A and B are shown apart, each in its own frame.
Chain A
Amino acid sequence: MTHLLNMKKIVIEGFSSEEERWMPIINSLDLTLDRGEVLGLIGESGAGKSTLGLASMCYTRGGCRISSGSIIFDGMELFGQSDEFLRKIRGVRIAYVAQSAAASFNPAHRLIKQYAEAPIQHGKMNFHEAEKKAVDIYRRLLLPDPEGIGYRYPHQVSGGQLQRAMVAMAMACTPDIIIFDEPTTALDVTTQIEVLAAIKKITREFNTAAIYITHDLAVVAQLADRIMVLRYGDLVEENNARELMANPKEEYTRALLSVRTLREERDLSATEHDVVLEVENVSASYTGKADEKVLEDINLKVRRARTVALVGESGSGKSTLARVITGLLPPLEGKVIYGGKELPPALKSRDRTTLRIMQMIYQMPDTALNPRHKVSDVLGRPLTFYFHMRGKERDQRVKELLEMIELAPKKYKDRLPGELSGGEKQRVCIARALAAKPDLIICDEPTSALDQLVAEGILKLLQDLQNELHVSYLFITHDLATVKAISDEIVVMLQGRIVEQGVKKDVLAPPHHKYTELLLSSVPEMDPDWLDNVLEERKRKGIVMREFV
């Protein structure tokens, strides 16, 4: 039987301006796809999965080229064809769904106008017909108000709805293949599950073949019939999805599959560990008005050498709480208490010691490090600032800090942030926080911008440092897998309020608060039947996501 898409010995190169020559990105890979089949492409950043996915419509991003191979789509060779020819295929027979719908929609046009663009351009239908079809597809994608939603502007719908509107756009010409490029990566878990359900439904209904690109094995397991694991432009493993999940053959696949379990259960009787930080009845607002609160009545305690995980979706106020604690946003009401003493609410009125004992680690290590400061300057400044260290003493301490974060001092101390990888940058950020000898480190999603294996390394490092230095963490995250891996206590936030809090064991064990349950049940598991089961169970119990929005 002939395949719908048959890519053979694809070699893709990217131009490296540093070395001024073409470097391979994809090394002679084969890829096949049958009608109605969903193929999962999985790998970490730089694995070449997006590049390979895009190559299926004979397209490369700027600075890349397909240098050899063959791409046979429905009996036609695409490689080497004119742009004119390819234009007739792209968008009509092979469509693409990008990662960030918010960045991909034109904010100045209504959704339906952007939806209709491809079918009208390709002469498939007129605007009136496109409108009718759009409503049908919107309905199939379970979008609310399918008749009206198309007439909204992109900013008037939520992130998950926008992502589904983009899937609808790709569906406009009823293509044979859709390429999904990490369509749910930027979404919250509870939204992700809706988009996944919608994608699964519509690809089945139209019998559309799909290439699903992601770094999350649990997500791809829900959709894909077959999975290809890529690394550094090479194929690591390819197999039927169920088979691959059940019996991974390669070490690398096993590493991706392994569920993180870093922390043993620890005794957390309140008397054993003194409280480092206490937040009492805190409410806050960005406008200063009492009726526009973004945080309401927050109470929590962080104990010495323990980790409190602050969980919630975007907009739940977790980062705002961090801003209140650090003094960047003075609260409307309530107190932040450190070591039994109330801290001044505003940053300006806090003294150096108060500033020193609380440090922060940010989500994006790229923007958290000044690109013009060398590693040794980044780490040396807090030493000089807080401890008046200079010269040899300071160099020695910088060296110790680098050793602590497992980076060779000689090799790394003179580098600029641009010369470090994402994980190394985050390590430097951790060292910068440690340089101040803090009691508490507020970690604002420190691993969510990193690849899975790198993130695991960072979590493990944080864990080791805690055991060694007895520092406490307030760990802000939306990723429940991380929470399970590292926390002692969990605080669940929803729309600026705490809905549930307590020791990990208690929070994770039923009975849950309704929202906690929704959140917990939305985390994809490494089980191909997970999505179907969850959706069925929700239907049975009558849980609707919209209750919480």
Chain B
Amino acid sequence: MAFFRLLRQSPLSARIGLAMILINVFAAIFAPVIAPYTETEVVGDVWLPMSTDHLLGTDHLGRDMFTRLMYGARNTIAIAFITTLLSFFLGALIGFFAATLGGWTDLSLSRVVDILMAFPTLIFALIVLSVVGTSIGALILVIAVLDSTRVFRLSRAVAMDITVMEYVEAARLRGEGIWWIMRKEILPNALPPLVAEFGLRFCFVFLFIAALSFLGLGIQPPTADWGGMVRENAGAITFGIFIPLWPAGAIAFLTVGVNLIVDWFLKIASGLKD
């Protein structure tokens, strides 16, 4: 109920953002019901223009663009969302841990993260994925771990500022354990910058998956994913065909939606007034 009350007071931008996300989620869930064709079905010629048969035209193999966009939403949103969540869980947990304990724990965790960050992420992902294979699970895990290094840095820095506050000292003096301090004292105060970062990282994960797909180690064809679809159809641009703009637009659409919601949340959480 509280959520609905909040929603009623929400600004227009947040409602638009929410609508954009809901459209995507709806498409993702009901793809098999709504989509006119199946995900991998070749239905016509290559790069057909828009028509009543093919609402958004066809792709480089003659598959229906509209259908694939909907199925793509399923894979892309789910994978990107789970990956980002996982990377934030890992990064924030270890970051808070390092900041709260300090000393050697902080030093060693930070150096491990430095080592991970010293490798270009793409190269690192390629090495790991070529060893463990390109299952969806491995993909999620590898990207999440690599991404969590950045989350670690942010959450450690934010938590560092909070641990020196007297209310944290008061909790320590009370005898609270580290888990309570991290969960109740640090997390609520560190949330605003982390959520802002979440919106951004969520979008980067899309692009990273697309990059991996381009190198053949991401989501494997014929499974539809937006990043992959941009890449597959990129050649069309040289012929003046705007087909690859559809999946690119879909990525942009979702990104904008997510960030509108993030902005709204930040405003509530931080009490910031403009």
Q: Which residues of A contact B (CB under 8 A)?
A: 17-18, 326-328, 347, 350, 352, 355-356, 358-360, 362, 364, 367-373, 381-382, 385, 418, 432, 436
> Are the CB atoms of B167 and A326 closer together than 8 Å?
no
How long is the Cα–Cα vector from A362 to B271 in the complex, in angstroms? Answer: 25
> Are the CB atoms of A385 and B189 closer together than 8 Å?
no
How long is the Cα–Cα vector from A17 to B184 in the complex, in angstroms? Answer: 29
Please, could you name 23 A-B residue pairs with CB atoms under 8 Å apart, sorted by A? A18-B273, A328-B173, A350-B175, A352-B175, A355-B173, A355-B174, A356-B175, A359-B173, A367-B165, A368-B166, A368-B167, A368-B170, A370-B165, A370-B184, A370-B185, A370-B188, A372-B188, A372-B189, A373-B167, A373-B184, A385-B176, A418-B271, A436-B174
Chain B residue at smallest Cβ distance from A353? B175
How distant is A357 from chain B, measured CB to nearest CB, in Å? 12
At the interface, yes or no: B169 with Cβ under 8 Å from chain A? yes
10 tightest A-B CB contacts, nearest first: A372-B188, A17-B273, A368-B166, A355-B175, A370-B167, A362-B166, A367-B166, A367-B165, A352-B175, A326-B173
How long is the Cα–Cα vector from A360 to B169 in the complex, in angstroms? Answer: 10
> Are the CB atoms of B173 and A369 closer together than 8 Å?
no
> Are the CB atoms of B189 and A370 closer together than 8 Å?
yes
> Are the CB atoms of B167 and A369 closer together than 8 Å?
yes
How distant is A172 from chain B, measured CB to nearest CB, in Å? 37
Option from A17, A327, A362 in Cβ contact (under 8 Å) with B170: A362
Contact with A along B240-274 (1 / 0, CB 8 A): 00000000000000000000000000000001011
Chain A residue at smallest Cβ distance from B269? A372
> Are the CB atoms of B167 and A367 closer together than 8 Å?
yes
Chain A residue at smallest Cβ distance from B271? A418
Contacts of B169 in A (CB 8 A): 328, 360
How long is the Cα–Cα vector from A385 to B180 in the complex, in angstroms? Answer: 11
> Are the CB atoms of A364 and B188 closer together than 8 Å?
no
Contacts of B173 in A (CB 8 A): 326-328, 347, 355, 358-360
Contact with A along B172-204 (1 / 0, CB 8 A): 111110000000110011000000000000000
How long is the Cα–Cα vector from A318 to B188 in the complex, in angstroms? Answer: 32
How many B residues touch the partner, as a band? 10 to 19
Chain B residue at smallest Cβ distance from A365? B166
How distant is A369 from chain B, measured CB to nearest CB, in Å? 6
How many contacts between A and B, using CB within 8 angstroms? 51
How distant is A395 from chain B, measured CB to nearest CB, in Å? 19
How long is the Cα–Cα vector from A359 to B174 in the complex, in angstroms? Answer: 8
Chain B residue at smallest Cβ distance from A18? B273
Contacts of B175 in A (CB 8 A): 350, 352, 355-356, 385
Contacts of B176 in A (CB 8 A): 385
Contacts of B185 in A (CB 8 A): 370
How long is the Cα–Cα vector from A370 to B168 in the complex, in angstroms? Answer: 8
Chain B residue at smallest Cβ distance from A436? B174
> Are the CB atoms of A360 and B189 closer together than 8 Å?
no
Contacts of B273 in A (CB 8 A): 17-18
How long is the Cα–Cα vector from A381 to B165 in the complex, in angstroms? Answer: 18
Chain B residue at smallest Cβ distance from A378? B167
> Are the CB atoms of A371 and B170 closer together than 8 Å?
no
Chain B residue at smallest Cβ distance from A418? B271
Chain A residue at smallest Cβ distance from B187? A372
> Are the CB atoms of A432 and B189 closer together than 8 Å?
no
How long is the Cα–Cα vector from A43 to B174 in the complex, in angstroms? Answer: 38
Contact with A along B28-47 (1 / 0, CB 8 A): 00000000000000000000
Chain B residue at smallest Cβ distance from A371? B189
How distant is B166 from chain A, measured CB to nearest CB, in Å? 4
How distant is B158 from chain A, measured CB to nearest CB, in Å? 14
How distant is A117 from chain B, measured CB to nearest CB, in Å? 33
How distant is A77 from chain B, measured CB to nearest CB, in Å? 35
Contacts of B170 in A (CB 8 A): 360, 362, 368, 432
How long is the Cα–Cα vector from A369 to B165 in the complex, in angstroms? Answer: 9
Q: Which residues B119-148 have CB closer than 8 A to chain A?
A: none
How long is the Cα–Cα vector from A368 to B164 in the complex, in angstroms? Answer: 11
Contacts of A382 in B (CB 8 A): 174
Contacts of B184 in A (CB 8 A): 370, 373
How long is the Cα–Cα vector from A355 to B169 in the complex, in angstroms? Answer: 13
How long is the Cα–Cα vector from A192 to B170 in the complex, in angstroms? Answer: 32
How long is the Cα–Cα vector from A318 to B167 in the complex, in angstroms? Answer: 20
How distant is B85 from chain A, measured CB to nearest CB, in Å? 22
Option from A362, A364, A371, A385 in Cβ contact (under 8 Å) with B174: A385
How distant is A288 from chain B, measured CB to nearest CB, in Å? 13
Contacts of B172 in A (CB 8 A): 328, 347
Contacts of A326 in B (CB 8 A): 173
Chain B residue at smallest Cβ distance from A435? B174
How distant is A64 from chain B, measured CB to nearest CB, in Å? 16
How long is the Cα–Cα vector from A370 to B162 in the complex, in angstroms? Answer: 10
How long is the Cα–Cα vector from A360 to B168 in the complex, in angstroms? Answer: 12
Contacts of B166 in A (CB 8 A): 362, 364, 367-368
How distant is A311 from chain B, measured CB to nearest CB, in Å? 22
Contacts of A355 in B (CB 8 A): 173-175
How long is the Cα–Cα vector from A382 to B170 in the complex, in angstroms? Answer: 11
With a 10 A CB-CB cut-off, give which of B167, B169, B172, B273 has the most chain A CB atoms.
B167
Contacts of B189 in A (CB 8 A): 370-372
Contacts of A368 in B (CB 8 A): 166-167, 170
How long is the Cα–Cα vector from A356 to B173 in the complex, in angstroms? Answer: 9
How distant is B233 from chain A, measured CB to nearest CB, in Å? 47
How long is the Cα–Cα vector from A373 to B165 in the complex, in angstroms? Answer: 14
Chain B residue at smallest Cβ distance from A350? B175
How long is the Cα–Cα vector from A135 to B103 in the complex, in angstroms? Answer: 47
Contacts of A352 in B (CB 8 A): 175
How long is the Cα–Cα vector from A372 to B173 in the complex, in angstroms? Answer: 19
How long is the Cα–Cα vector from A368 to B188 in the complex, in angstroms? Answer: 15
How long is the Cα–Cα vector from A143 to B165 in the complex, in angstroms? Answer: 36
How distant is A345 from chain B, measured CB to nearest CB, in Å? 15
How distant is B86 from chain A, measured CB to nearest CB, in Å? 25
Contacts of A369 in B (CB 8 A): 167
In addition to A360-B169, A368-B167, 14 A-B residue pairs with Cβ atoms within 8 Å of each other are A17-B273, A328-B173, A347-B173, A352-B175, A358-B173, A362-B166, A367-B165, A368-B166, A370-B167, A370-B184, A370-B185, A370-B188, A372-B188, A373-B167
Contacts of A385 in B (CB 8 A): 174-176
How distant is A380 from chain B, measured CB to nearest CB, in Å? 12
Contacts of B271 in A (CB 8 A): 418
How distant is B23 from chain A, measured CB to nearest CB, in Å? 33
Contacts of A359 in B (CB 8 A): 173
Contacts of A328 in B (CB 8 A): 169, 172-173
Contacts of A347 in B (CB 8 A): 172-173
How distant is B32 from chain A, measured CB to nearest CB, in Å? 43
How distant is A51 from chain B, measured CB to nearest CB, in Å? 20
How long is the Cα–Cα vector from A382 to B174 in the complex, in angstroms? Answer: 7
How long is the Cα–Cα vector from A362 to B172 in the complex, in angstroms? Answer: 14
Contacts of A360 in B (CB 8 A): 169-170, 173
How long is the Cα–Cα vector from A156 to B167 in the complex, in angstroms? Answer: 32
How distant is B59 from chain A, measured CB to nearest CB, in Å? 49
Chain A residue at smallest Cβ distance from B167? A370
Chain A residue at smallest Cβ distance from B165? A367
Contacts of B174 in A (CB 8 A): 355, 381-382, 385, 436
How distant is B74 from chain A, measured CB to nearest CB, in Å? 36
Chain B residue at smallest Cβ distance from A416? B271
Chain B residue at smallest Cβ distance from A362? B166
